[in-house]
Every structure is written in structure tokens, then in C-alpha cells.
Structure 1
């Protein structure tokens, strides 16, 4: 009897292992990640799976009727959905699923949890730039670049927390909170001292990353900005040089600007020679016009002068034929 029971248990174990081995397990830890408004579906391979598996990933939004294809037959353990044909919206909620394939065997779909983009995306670190002037340091903040839209367009209410400390004394750091602008001037610092700064974007619902620490040294309180000194010195030097040149070479400059060129002698003779034209002579000695009148002699009487007479020309007709 014991032998029969042992045989039955062994047979059932072998059959059960065969059934399990014939079904490919699905991927594990299927989840979404979002960094600076990108959307990536990630997963781990099935437990005990051999190498060479291929994966297919699909996704859908909260308002979609069904899943859309994301990545097909890929060997990697992630699928970037940000740059697909169907756009991803910065305020959307999304779901995903993945299955594995080995030859003709296909695992069941494994679904992920949902993600809401604007509430769960990780906001990366900003870039900061420092410039010092005497005992003050100006901090300029550059927002991280988003895959979708921009930081200020998605989050209009964000602020910055600026933390600074003397180099080597980070335990005495000072934080300025709720700064809305991208530029701040920190004054009343110790002169000739190195300060380090770090900026974090303040957004309560989203995890954020602080910027890298950047350090800058302050100057002396009595320092005059060297750029202004150099520019002033150069301008005064150029002005003094121009005045000196104009005084020393004033005659040459005058003759250059107002030359006294003389015409050649044959040009002068030609221009001064009186023309021989009869018109020119008539213009020089004008004479009153002569009036010719008809004189008629009358016997026994005085002379009579009549007005000039005009001879009328006969009309000319054209014979038109």
C-alpha cells in the first residue's frame, strides 16, 4: 500500500512539473517611471527565465477604450513611451502591461499600477550660476528641461529654496525659502570668503532633486570693479592721444581737409580767353531794333508817314482729287 502511494505521489509531481514548465511565467515588478515629464514602462524578467526572452509592452490612458502598442519584441527591460506616435499628455493618467515571449511560448499579460504625470513625475535638479561683486553673490537659476512642455508651464506655482554656507561649514547652512524669481542676490556676506550654494525646486506633491553644489569667493568691500577701471582708462587714453595728434599735426590735418590745388596755366588761359562767337558779341553790344516805315511824298504838302504794311499771302488750297 505504501509503495502504491509513493508511486502516485511521484507521478503527480512529474505531471505537475511538466504543466508548469510548459507555461512561460510573466514579467515581474512592472511599473511606470517618469523623470522630467518622460514616461517609461519598466519590468524585471520572469523568475528563473532563460536568456533570450523578448517582450511586448502596451499602454493606455484613463480615458482610452483599449491598450495601444508601445514596444514589440524588444530584448530590453524598458519601453520609452514618450516619443511614440500617440502623444503623451502632461496631465494624463496611464496604465501599462507587458508579456514575455520565448519561441512559440508566450506569457500572460502583467499589468502595472497607474501613474499621473503631473503629480508623480520626478523633477530633476536645476542648474545654478554664481557671480560675485564685493561682498555679495548673485545666484542665477536655470530650470530643468522637460520632455513634455516646460517646468513653468506645467507648474506655475513652483518656488525655489536656496541654501548656502561657508566652504567647509555646511552644518551652519542658511536656507532662503519660497523664492519665486530665477535670480537672487545674497548680500552682507563676509569679504574674501568662499561660499557654496545649492538650489532645490519646492513642489510638495512631486519628489525633487537638489542641484549640485557650486562655490564662489566674495571680494573685498573696498574693491572697485576692475572692468569699469579698465574701460575708463582705455577711453581716457584714446581721448588724450587724439588731442595730442590733433595739436601736433594740425597744419597737416588742415591742408588734408582743405587742399589748395591750383589749375594748370593752359586751363587758366582757356577759361579767361574771350569767345569769338557773334552771338556772344551781340550780347555784349546790344542795339535797339530798327523800324522801317513807308514814306509817301505828297505834292504841295508835308511828308506823311504811314504804318508798316503787311503783304497778305494768297491762300493756298490743295486740290484733293
Structure 2
């Protein structure tokens, strides 16, 4: 073969690229590493061109490792692999993933993803918000999103809430409260008998805030009493109860003597009550004898009649009167 022909073949091969080489499997495309609420998911698109029975294997490495020393998913047909379920993920580490395609005995080249640092790049979802009306005030209850690794307050110690609220239909006049750390907040600068809507967002220093929550609405009712009124009433009741207990303990003997007096009767009362009665009627009744009872003796004599004999026949004979 002449040198000119060899040069022509090499030039043509370079121009057409590796796709003309048979038996080489295309690699996955658009490989990216994502994190949502502190999880770690490697995603990709299938190789370009026709292919059948393709499976994928993944690997990943952390910032403390130079090589891809951790195995992810093996021989899967899905286009994503949840690496956070392997229980080897640390919330402050930096990670990079890679994936390759396999079809029969053919394997593609490894394709690496973008690196991400979990605590800086994870997308934080919106908090859960609920409202309860208390007179002319509304209490806002906030619940943090659930993280795959650790918890929001353990990873972001300085996290605060930004609360935005407005009258229903007047979003352009919204007011806000920022740098809130409590999970329960009372909005008390509201009008009675008015519907308000509330939206909450998590704010973290040196990173993007969370997604805002969905707007939640609640109506106020009549103007509530000032909190100090209930506090004063409660304090008064408690103070009175304590005072009564103290008085009862200190003066228990006096109270017992008052309720159950033990004073003795005067001596002349005792002599009068213990002296025998001296009335004439009482003496006559005591010395009198019981009257004699008047009675007649009765004797019962059998008449000799049978039980079947009529009473008239037996009673026809009367004893003679003396």
C-alpha cells in the first residue's frame, strides 16, 4: 500500500471520529450529581445511538479520596442511582460520581459528574406551615423539612425563618418578620375579623435560601383580651389559694376549737340536770302499782263430731246456761 493511500485512510478515520468503529458502546451523557434535602443522587441520560439491553454501573468518591473507591449501583437499568442510601455519606464532604454503560460484553468509558459539596449545594425544600387563630392574633407553627442525613438544625446552626404575611388579596402590601428562630410565632398586629395569608422561607448564611412554602390562610376573630389580664387573674387566684393554706396551717388549733368547741357546762347546769325529779306527778307514777287485769277462764271441750259432719248438726246442742 502506498504512503499516499495510508495517509488518506488515517485522515478519513480522524474526520469521521470513533463512532465509525464497530464494537464500541457509547457512554452515558449529561451525567450530573444532585442533592435535595441532603441526599446524593447520580443521574444521567442514555448513550446516543441505538442500543439494547443496556445496564449501568456507578462509582463515587469523596474529597478525601483521589480514586473512585466507593461502589454505587451495579447493573441497573434505571437512569439514576441514590448514593445516599449506602450509609457512607457525610454532610460536609465534597463528592463526585461517574457512570458507565454495559451491553453484553461491551462496556463504555466512564463519564464523570460535576462535584458537589452537600452542605453548600443541597437544595432545601420549603418548610411545613400551619396556622391557628387566637382572637385577633394568628399563631404560625413551622416544621423543618426532613433531611436524608442528619437534621436541618444540626447542619445549619444559624438557620432562621423569614415570615411574610398579608391580608387576603393584598399581596402587594405584605409585611414580614425576619431572623426568627422559634418554630412558633404569634402575629398580633392584625385586624379582627380579617383573613390573612402566610408564607415562610428558611434563610441560611452564605448559601441560597430554601424554597418558600405554599401560602396558608387563616381568619382572625374578635379582639382578644390583653395577655396581662389573664396573667393578673391567674396570679390573684394562686396568691389567694396560698394565703388560705398558710392561714389554715398557722391557725389550725383556733379553727378547730371554733368548729368543735370543748367548753364545759356551768356547775349549776350540771347540778340541775343531774338532780332527781321531784314533781308530784312523777312521784305518783313511780310509786303507783300496775292495775289488776280482769280476765275469765275458758275451757275447750271436744264434741266428738267427725270432720265431715256439718257444723249445723254439731252446733244444735247448746250447753245449759247456769
TM-score between both structures, scaled by the size of structure 2: 0.62
Instruction: Indicate conservation of the 8 Å contact 1:95/1:114, yes or no.
Output: yes
Distance, in Å, in 1 between the alignment partners of 2:119 and 2:17 is 47
Greater Cα offset, 144-153 or 203-212: 203-212
Instruction: Indicate conservation of the 8 Å contact 2:191/2:220, yes or no.
Output: yes
Instruction: Indicate conservation of the 8 Å contact 1:96/1:112, yes or no.
Output: yes
The match for 1:278 is none
Distance, in Å, in 1 between the alignment partners of 2:146 and 2:138 is 25
Q: Deviations over 1:108-148 (max 9, x none)?
A: 00111211111111111111111111111011111111111
The match for 2:103 is 102
In structure 1, list runs of 5 or more residues that go unmatched: 229-321
Task: Pick one of 202, 212, 215 that aligns with 1:213.
Answer: 215
The match for 1:172 is 173
Distance, in Å, in 2 between the alignment partners of 1:17 and 1:93 is 33
Q: Deviations over 1:248-268 (max 9, x none)?
A: xxxxxxxxxxxxxxxxxxxxx
Distance, in Å, in 2 between the alignment partners of 1:15 and 1:144 is 51
In the superposition, relative to structure 1, how do residues 49 and 164 fare at CA in structure 2: closer, same or farther (>3 Å)? Answer: farther
Distance, in Å, in 2 between the alignment partners of 1:130 and 1:99 is 49
The match for 2:23 is 22
Distance, in Å, in 2 between the alignment partners of 1:149 and 1:95 is 21
The match for 1:129 is 130
The match for 2:93 is 92
Root-mean-square deviation (Å) = 2.7
The match for 2:40 is 39
The match for 1:309 is none
Aligned residues: 218
Alignment of 1:1-321 (within 5 A): 19-66=20-67, 67-84=69-86, 86-203=87-204, 204-221=206-223
Distance, in Å, in 2 between the alignment partners of 1:155 and 1:18 is 48
Distance, in Å, in 1 between the alignment partners of 2:84 and 2:181 is 29
Partner-residue secondary structure (3-state), 2:185: strand
Distance, in Å, in 1 between the alignment partners of 2:19 and 2:44 is 27
Deviation at 1:149, TM superposition (A): 0.6
Q: Deviations over 1:242-283 (max 9, x none)?
A: xxxxxxxxxxxxxxxxxxxxxxxxxxxxxxxxxxxxxxxxxx
In the superposition, relative to structure 1, how do residues 150 and 17 fare at CA in structure 2: closer, same or farther (>3 Å)? Answer: closer
Deviation at 1:65, TM superposition (A): 4.5
Instruction: Indicate conservation of the 8 Å contact 2:52/2:103, yes or no.
Output: no
Instruction: Indicate conservation of the 8 Å contact 2:202/2:209, yes or no.
Output: no
